[in-house]
Structure 1
């Protein structure tokens, strides 16, 4: 499928001939999800809490979306709590962990809860924990990851545990992974950010038995919606789009994964062939560790080739620098990459290219050619 012939969702702006390789930041809305949003706007506009037919229709639509999302992650519908996005859901889990620790202690002085996490967490986890520390409401230890594996090692986690460390098997992890022959495998608490799988800007929290098997406490208080875990009138159109996006994943995830891995591997091969193996450093390759099937984080080695400068000179490629949510931080290397043991001089050159369901090899060819011209232009300016 060549340039200009792929589906509209493959590109950010097909009329300008751009190649969008920033699907980890957000994905275009799948046509089916967009249609579900539109249908809900026109046909399910009632308040889901109302008993009249318009309200019942909206409530039924939300129920179907809840079932679709539960099927995607192998859960029960009652385990799904809709949120505004992954950031809110992460904050809810952290808030719950702290409150549950305090409620579980005996005596007049329960002490300050201590939470152990890794040094490469997303800002929506790192910053709430840091804020709790500033307010003397909790303590946090950020365990470094191994530069060999890119993961926190068990011994380091155990060494960080204190008498006041709070841990619960019900609050583990925040992501689902597809496993061959087993479908999607999820921990007991999972944060789902829908824009990353071709849905609208909304989120959901999967908690196995919220309030019973696993503790869950609200951040907000109001009219009792979402069993009072997340009150407020439900955003029916966005939830409808979420449900449709989840159905697409349930039906097609194996094909999506195989396609994106193939294109990602082709991208990395083209980078090495075009720039030379000695000039490309793959920042996300760790022996024995799994990788996202669609993502390549790499640095083009050389002076003056900081990631943001390279992208600024690209005419076709749309991508990100550094790691998660890092694109607006200028020349500062990504703390996540530094935490993985990537040298600062390499980390500041980092580019994150993430392919999508409709990215083609032809798109990759255009992107790599664009990177070549951008680097040549920068090196020409940098030459003495």
Structure 2
């Protein structure tokens, strides 16, 4: 990080940990062989990939055979949604197609790699979709609302583990338990598959696929100090859980995701996962302390002129995320950021336009005038109290200037 700037956009992306850089460099220099080759150079690369797969499995409480490497979270999410669609139609054929169109349940908080795929399914009349609205009292989807949305044709429920803008943790394990209690997980048609995109949770709170009770879990490396690739964790893929490839080629990743493996990036992802296993408790404690210090300093400095979005009495947040609005006309988030000389942050998801109110904040009941003024401040493992002091001063100067314009 530049000494002149303070980066508080870790929910958008994280830098590579030095040990991750070392692992990537080692693979680039010494494991350049094709992992499918039987000679020494190829087997060295294969060994690195196997080692990385084991670290990812340990991180999320899975078997090594449950881990499928992908280009990132978007591909992993697409793979799940298209697999659920194909699985439904295969099972529907066995039932003479009497069930109708497949039905997906999701929330109105999801990343575009879920939301836009399901919109496409609807537009092409491939599926029906229920978007369960988040509660304005808790900032999360309510379990009863999800269960009430289930139909005979429901094939997949997908809800993110934690929201990328508010940090609110969603009740995934409780949803999974209620679905299992319906008695439709085995034997009956259709089976309801369960997926969670854990991009924002991994590296910040414990994430275990068995505890969450899901069939699929999305892993995104660049959210926990790894490289910009990802993985999909699938419980016994192709056996206990349906998974169908969207690419066809040389048979890598057991043909679920063919293509010659990117050994250096996979090695880096494995190292990032290993660090999470070793040091999660320390990471979580540090980020929570810094986030609490940030919110305390903002409240001390701005008093009633600041409000925190996403802090709900009955909901928990991931430990690094603060969504804050500075109240008053002319204090739109994008205007504040454009004038900050030290703070690097965002008003919401990095892949969304940065000059409009966040749909996520509007969805949880934040008034538009407040949502327009929002900043998402997400701290990292190395963020210090001194950094917080610097950005609070920066914000104070900018807001005073904007109020006097």
Q: Which residue of 2 aligns with 1:139?
A: 128
Query: Could you tell me how far apart the structure 1 residues matched to 2:202 and 2:103 are?
Result: 32
Partners of 1:170 and 1:213 within 8 A in 2:
no
Cα distance, 1:266 vs. partner?
0.2
Cα distance, 1:25 vs. partner?
0.4
**Residues 141-169 of structure 1, C-alpha deviation per residue, up to 9 Å, x if partnerless?**
11111100111123322332333222446
Partners of 1:28 and 1:198 within 8 A in 2:
yes
Q: Which residue of 2 aligns with 1:269?
A: 296
Query: Could you tell me how far apart the structure 1 residues matched to 2:129 and 2:381 are?
Result: 38
Q: Which residue of 2 aligns with 1:302?
A: 328
**Residues 210-264 of structure 1, C-alpha deviation per residue, up to 9 Å, x if partnerless?**
1111111111111110001100000000000001111111100000000000000
- Summarize the Cα distance change of 1:103–1:220 in structure 2 as closer, same or farther, 3 Å threshold: same
Query: Could you tell me how far apart the structure 2 residues matched to 1:264 and 1:330 are?
Result: 23
- Summarize the Cα distance change of 1:183–1:150 in structure 2 as closer, same or farther, 3 Å threshold: closer
2:141 pairs with 1:152: yes
**Residues 284-307 of structure 1, C-alpha deviation per residue, up to 9 Å, x if partnerless?**
111211101001011111101111
Q: Which residue of 2 aligns with 1:30?
A: 17
Query: Could you tell me how far apart the structure 2 residues matched to 1:288 and 1:96 are?
Result: 35
Partners of 1:178 and 1:185 within 8 A in 2:
no
Q: CA RMSD in A?
A: 1.8
Q: Which residue of 1 aligns with 2:317?
A: 291
- The within-5 A match list for 1:38-77 is 38-77=25-64
Q: Which residue of 1 aligns with 2:264?
A: 237
Partners of 1:171 and 1:214 within 8 A in 2:
no
Q: Would you say how many aligned residue pairs link Structure 1 and Structure 2?
A: 364
Query: Could you tell me how far apart the structure 2 residues matched to 1:227 and 1:59 are?
Result: 14
Q: Which residue of 2 aligns with 1:85?
A: 72
2:247 pairs with 1:228: no
Query: Could you tell me how far apart the structure 2 residues matched to 1:207 and 1:146 are?
Result: 29
Cα distance, 1:62 vs. partner?
0.3
* TM-score using structure 1 length: 0.91
Q: Which residue of 2 aligns with 1:367?
A: 391
Cα distance, 1:325 vs. partner?
3.2
Q: Which residue of 1 aligns with 2:350?
A: 325
Q: Which runs of 5+ in 2 are unaligned?
A: 157-190
**Residues 145-197 of structure 1, C-alpha deviation per residue, up to 9 Å, x if partnerless?**
110011112332233233322244652323286899x9542333110111010
Q: Which residue of 2 aligns with 1:208?
A: 235
Query: Could you tell me how far apart the structure 1 residues matched to 2:294 and 2:97 are?
Result: 59
Aligned pair partner of 1:340 in 342, 364, 383: 364
The alignment partner of 1:320 has SS state of coil
Query: Could you tell me how far apart the structure 2 residues matched to 1:375 and 1:179 are?
Result: 33
